[in-house]
Amino acid sequence: MTNGDKIRHMSDEELADFIEKNNWRNDSCKNCADTDTTCTDCWLKWLKSEARE
């Protein structure tokens, strides 16, 4: 299994956690800095949203 395969097989929750642990920044993170929302929460919301074409 390649790294790409592993990533493709991750759930949204696993991928959001992976992104957060690897310090990938999401523009929405700066919008929730003063709330209880974490970057993982922001990534998870983004991962579950409809993709732009």
Reference 17, options 34, 41, 33, 1; nearest CA is 41
What's the pLDDT tens digit per position in 9-30? 999 999 888 887 776 655 555 6
Domain boundaries, the chain: 3-48
Tell me what pLDDT residue 10 has.
92
Q: 3-28 burial by CB neighbour count: b if 16+ within 10 A, else e?
A: eeeeeeeeeeeebbbebbeeeeebee
More reliable by pLDDT, 37 or 12: 12
Tell me what pLDDT residue 9 has.
92
